[in-house]
């Protein structure tokens, strides 16, 4: 992946000033992530070689595992990230949001919730609403662990539009994860080889 995009903050979002950004992701920053079946809640069905997850009402016949989420319908990726990494996901339905064991509701995780009404970012149970329009069903994520940044982008026609950045200090590997709320909602890890 080698994207050199000019990014504009959406004037309808919380960021009311129109600022110009330039970001460059080198090919080595591109990540091909895989969903971890050992962490998947039983209402999450994995498909497409563990690159797509869909919320279903029927329990999946996953074997017992100490890492499995047993209350919230969430899962992690196998890959623990410690360097720089960019990936994209496509979502359908309602993805993200809820209580303290959920991603973003504690000081060990960060989240971006996506819905047709916009986005919200959360860390340590502090929620930031981001009413960006139009909403894209594709989100790009860039983490730079050494620099302590985790950034989310709206992907539209191969253009990246900044949604939110968390600034922090990462002390452990970062495991991307997803929470899915409604039956039929899904998240797919996009192949970065096509970019």
pLDDT in tens, 62-83: 999 999 998 889 999 998 999 9
| Inter-residue contact 164 to 178 (CB < 8 Å) | no
Taking CA atoms, 110 is separated from 101, 120, 170, in Å, by 12, 11, 11
Q: What is the pLDDT of residue 109?
A: 76
pLDDT in tens, 80-103: 999 999 988 888 764 443 344 567
Domain boundaries, the chain: 3-194
Q: What is the pLDDT of residue 107?
A: 72
Is the CATH number of domain 3-194 3.30.413.10?
no
What are the backbone dihedrals phi and psi of residue 7, each rounded to the nearest 5 degrees, phi first? -110, 135
Cα(15)–Cα(90) distance, integer angstroms: 24
Which has more pLDDT, 164 or 44? 44
* pLDDT > 70 in the chain, percent: 77
In which band, very low, low, confident or very high, does the pLDDT at 169 lie, cut at 50, 70 and 90?
A: very high
State the pTM of this model: 0.78
3-state secondary structure of 29: helix
Range 51-89 burial, b when 16+ CB lie within 10 A, else e = bbbbbbeeeeebeeeeebbeebbbbbbebebeebbbbbb
What are the backbone dihedrals phi and psi of residue 28, each rounded to the nearest 5 degrees, phi first? -70, -15
Strands (E), 26-172: 44-47, 52-55, 74-76, 84-92, 110-115, 118-123, 126-130, 138-144, 149-156, 159-167
* pLDDT > 90 in the chain, percent: 33
Scanning 71-147, the segments in alpha helix (DSSP H) are none
Q: What is the pLDDT of residue 193?
A: 66
């Amino acid at each position: 992946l080698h994207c050199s995009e000019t990014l504009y903050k959406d004037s309808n979002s919380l960021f009311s000033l129109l600022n110009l950004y330039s970001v460059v992701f080198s090919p080595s920053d591109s990540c091909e992530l895989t969903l971890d079946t050992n962490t998947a809640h039983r209402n999450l069905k994995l498909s497409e070689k563990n690159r797509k997850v869909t919320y279903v009402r029927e329990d999946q016949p996953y074997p017992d595992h100490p890492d499995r989420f047993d209350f919230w319908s969430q899962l992690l990726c196998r890959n623990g990230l410690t360097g720089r990494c960019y990936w994209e996901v496509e979502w359908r339905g309602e993805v993200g949001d809820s209580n303290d064991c959920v991603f973003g509701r504690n000081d060990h995780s960060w989240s971006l919730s996506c819905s047709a009404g916009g986005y919200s970012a959360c860390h340590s149970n502090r929620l930031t609403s981001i009413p960006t329009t139009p909403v894209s069903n594709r989100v790009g994520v860039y983490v730079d662990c050494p620099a302590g940044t985790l950034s989310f982008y709206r992907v539209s026609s191969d253009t990246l539009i900044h949604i939110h950045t968390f600034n922090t200090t990462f002390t452990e590997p970062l495991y991307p994860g997803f929470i899915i709320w409604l039956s039929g909602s899904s998240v797919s890890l996009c192949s970065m080889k096509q970019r």
